[in-house]
Structure 1
Amino acid sequence: METCKINKKQIYTMLIACITPIVICALLNISLVYAFLLSVLFALIISLKNGFTIKELKHMILKEINECKSLYVVILLIGATVSVWLSSGVVPSMIFYGLKYMNGMNILFSSFLLIAISSVFMGTAVGTISTIGIAILGIGKGFEIPTGLLVGVIVSGAFLADKISPISGLLNLTLATTETSYKEMVKSSLKTIIPTIIICALIYYLIGTKYSNVSGSKSSIELMQSIKNEFFISPYFILVPVLIVILSIIGIKSIYCMMSGVVMGSIISIVFQNLKLLDLIKYIFLGFSINSNSAVINETLNSGGVISMISVVIIVMGAIALAAIMQGTGVINYLTKDLIYKIKNKKDLILKTGIISGLLTVITCDQTIGIVVPSRLLKNKYEEIGVDKSILARTISDTGTIIAPLMPWNVNGLIVSLVTGVSCLAYAPFALLCFIAPLMTVIVSNINKRK
């Protein structure tokens, strides 16, 4: 455990100095690039004043940044995938046939279940949102469903991947750091995730009844006709996301799955949409847009490409650097030691595990710290009190992992907003899974205590 050389007053000064720019930029809709540059700068200055050397701080930051290289590539590939799947007609085909066959259905309920199942197979929340989620968003617009509401539903279903998918990178990190098997984790998680899914599905079904009678609406008819006019549409194009899901299921890494999606989409763009190679490259890097007679299709079928994701990569690096400084200087351990010391029973243990994991995700803007640190700090406490480590894994995934998209400054919130064009503040109130899962953890721990 890192010894903190920074005194109590300086620690809270660092927290305020680091969090304030992030909150202000998020509220004023200013790029978080500036916020994290300031936050890292403040953290460095305070650390240097308290005895840490430039060499030590440089080592802390570069070590963590280098370990996340594959994450930066995946983020850039998300920008490329969305553009290529739009230009190829893959997403337009999904929207077209979705509008055709989902008439009269409860869209919110169906979307939640479809996204939830897809995300578990794909193993990535942001990957699901940036592919299948984009199509669902287009279908919802055709049925005149508010975009904030629909993105909230999509986020709820997608982040089930990080909670329970056997091929999720975050879940496997949780299993490794808590020394828990997947079988033990699932068995423990069923107590919280099943009621969470049922409650979410029921609420979405009830809200969705309001939009179940809009089949054949003017917007959906207009959107279908515009898509047919602008693209070569085929149900076979839907095999592309199906193949990506299959690749994920058989254990292919996310980075290769995304690359496969880009390659398949590029081939379809050139062969079936008669797109020139130079135009395709431009779409991949600069983003895709369409200029049709339909305002709905112009608004729905556009993306920022790889270039739009560069700012996200910089922000992610800033978040990782900030987390590295706080962890390396011992600030995080200082903030959590009193909470851990005062734990006396199972109820307190589970509650404070959730608090520590959630707070670290909020403060460091990254789920990784919210997984690794509480796992490392609390494993012995779970053994001491006689609580199975699978509950530690379950609690972390129910709290620090699942709340990530609710914060505008979090990496996940940033990607969701950029991919969907809907702000975190607009969709967060409807991302019910992210609220209900932590609440269910507390309820279950109280029920078990009474027993």
Structure 2
Amino acid sequence: MKESKVSEKYTFIIIALTLISIISCIILKIFLFFGFLASIVIASCLLIKNGFSTTELLNMIKKGLCECKSLFILMALIGAMVSIWMASGVVPTMLYYGLKYMQGTNFLFATFVLTSIVSIFMGTAFGTISCVGIALLGLAKIFGIPNYILLGAIVSGAFIADKISPISSLFNLTLETLKISYKEALMSILKTLLPTYFVSGLLYYFIGKKYSIVIVNSNIDNFISTINRNFVVSPLLLLLPASIIIMSFLGVKMVKAVSLALIAGIIVSIGLQKANFNDIIVAIFNGYRINTNSVDLNTVLVSGGVVSMVSIILIITGAISLSSMFQETGLLVPIIKRITLRIKSHEELILKTGFISIALTAISDQSVGIILPGKLLRDKYRELGIDNTTLARTITDTGTVIAPLIPWNANSLFIFIITGIPTVSYAPYTVLCYVSPIITFIFAYLHKFKTGKQVKKVQVKNM
């Protein structure tokens, strides 16, 4: 990581103006891309004043965008895939079987468990939310469960992928940054993940008791009948989303897996559902709509297509450009060093690591929240005799999972574009994202208590 050439005064000015620009856009409901654009312009002017050239800054932005090109492709593919899964009958099939067999269950708790399992196999929160999340939200609308509450459970389960999935790009970035193996990291992370998962599941179980599904009425029967009249329903259609999970688990890159599933979905739409080819192309780019005698079904089966992803791709472009400048100029390095300079204890180091990772994720993105504390704090952990696996655990328990709670973060924006539900609505119910940092901080202080007891025992023995 490069040392910063920027004075401390200008560093604080850049960070302050960046946050003001972004938060102002959210409050005034201005397209967030303009907030990032203003931040980039302001930061560039101040960085040029501190010795950086325009060419250097443009190369930093170019490098960051090139490294994330697969993310942009994936966004567009997911926009297309959601439309095709509706046209091909995949989502209607999920709704059909969900309506028939999910009655009488604690739907909120079942959703959390299901999405957490799927996310580990898929290795991506984005894929999980757009894969099973859309269908689950459709069921929630029919069953009368508030969609923002259910989305909280979906997001909680989906972001377990970035904590422990062996095929998660973010988790592998953590492993690469800290030079540790998957097995080493997993054994450490499970110490906090298991209690986090248990507490989160318990909370969803008790919240979900209020929304247990016991519905037997003509509306549900009419809904099922409408699906049957308009689509060929078969459990074999569930092989499409299952294929993405299987391919991801086998190591196929997400872009390729989604592309293959998209092609298969187009074939199924035309061959099985007898959809018109021109209508399919329109659905891919402009989104899917259906007109049946069921208003509920018409409301559920709606997607935005590739076009709906343009706005989020622009925002992510702005976020990546800004975070690339922060990272490559070493802008945040002096601040992190000052915060960690006088740390003397295990629990203080973990607490500050967590806050640094959360702050960096909030200011820029998850990758910066992983790379900067990972590279800058390794020596400090070694100095205090703490294993790097604890550093990995702290980062994944804090900065990695906090992303969907930050309204201007790419994760939150993606969720909003896909579901239409703003961050402020679902965030209070994203239980795991709150419980995870709390548990890791508790563990740090339990270590202090345990160490204190061991020291006292040694002192007593030596007397």
Give me the TM-score of the superposition, normalised by structure 2.
0.94
Q: What's the CA shift for 1:33? A: 1.5
State whether structure 2 residue 241 is matched by structure 1 residue 241: yes
Alpha-carbon separation, structure 2, partners of 1:229 and 1:335: 62
Matches within 5 A, 1:35-434: 35-216=35-216, 220-364=220-364, 366-434=365-433
Structure 1 residue runs of 4 or more that deviate by more than 4 Å after TM superposition: none
Q: Any conservation in 1 of the 2:143–2:213 contact (CA below 8 Å)?
A: no
Deviation track 1:155-183 (CA, whole Å, cap 9, x = no partner) reads 00000111111111111110110111111
1:141/1:220 contact within 8 Å kept: no
Greater gyration radius:
2
| Separation of aligned partners in 2, 1:353 and 1:117 | 28
2:458 counterpart residue number? none
- 1:218 & 1:327 partners in 2: Cα distance? 58
Q: Deviations over 1:194-253 (max 9, x none)?
A: 111111111111111111143225654443233223322222111111122111111111
Give the RMSD, CA atoms, in angstroms: 1.4
Moved more, 31-40 or 430-439: 31-40
Residue type at the aligned position of 1:398: D
> Which sits farther off after the overlay, 161-170 or 235-244?
235-244
* Conservation of the 8 A alpha-carbon contact between 2:11 and 2:332: no
- Give the partner amino acid of 2:82: V
Is this contact kept in 2: 1:142–1:221, CA < 8 A?
no
Output the CA distance in 1 between the equivalents of 2:262 and 2:8: 50
Maintained 8 Å contact 1:284/1:305: yes
Q: Work out the number of aligned pairs and report it.
A: 450
The 1-side partners of 2:219 and 2:352 are apart by 48
Deviation at 1:376, TM superposition (A): 0.5
Q: CA deviation at 1:313?
A: 1.4
CA distance in structure 1 between the aligned counterparts of 2:367 and 2:30, rounded to whole angstroms = 25
Q: Deviations over 1:25-65 (max 9, x none)?
A: 22333321211111111111111222211111111111111
On the 8 A contact 1:123/1:168 being kept in 2, the answer is yes
| Equivalences for residues 18-29 of structure 1 within 5 A | 18-29=18-29
1:332 Cα shift? 1.1
Alpha-carbon deviation of 1:116?
A: 0.6
Contact 1:143 1:219 in 2 (8 A): no
Once structures 1 and 2 are overlaid, which stretch shifts more, 145-154 or 51-60?
A: 51-60
CA distance in 2, matches of 1:419, 1:231: 23
Does the CA-based 8 Å contact 1:82-1:303 persist in structure 2? Answer: yes
Check the 8 A contact 2:398/2:437 in 1, yes or no: yes
Q: Residue 273 of structure 2: SS of its match in structure 1?
A: coil
Q: Deviations over 1:115-160 (max 9, x none)?
A: 1101111111110000111111111112100010010010000001
Which secondary structure does the structure 2 equivalent of 1:4 belong to? coil
Give me the whole-angstrom Cα distance separating, in 2, the residues matched to 1:217 and 1:424: 33
| Structure 1, unpaired ranges of 5+ | none
Instruction: State which drifts further: 26-35 or 203-212.
Output: 26-35
Give distance in 2, aligned partners of 1:399 and 1:221.
45
Cα gap change, 1:335/1:89 in structure 2, threshold over 3 Å: closer, same or farther?
A: same
Q: Which runs of 5+ in 2 are unaligned?
A: 451-463
In the other structure, the counterpart of 2:456 is none
The CA distance in 1 between the partners of 2:219 and 2:187, in whole Å, is 45
Q: Which amino acid aligns with 2:44?
A: L
How much has 1:325 moved relative to structure 2?
1.4
Query: CA 1:28/1:88 → structure 2, altered by over 3 Å: closer, same or farther?
Result: farther
Percent of pairs with identical residues: 47
Q: Is the 8 A contact 1:142 1:217 kept in 2?
A: no
Distance 2:115 2:441 in 1: 26
- Tell me if structure 2 keeps the 8 A contact 1:361–1:404: yes
Single out whichever of 401-410 and 231-240 deviates more from structure 2: 231-240
The C-alpha deviation readout for 1:284-321, integer Å capped at 9, x for no partner, is: 11111222333322222111111111221121111111
TM score, norm. by length of structure 1: 0.97
What is the SS of the residue equivalent to 1:336? helix
SS of 1:331's equivalent in the other structure is coil
1:414 is displaced (CA, Å) by: 0.6
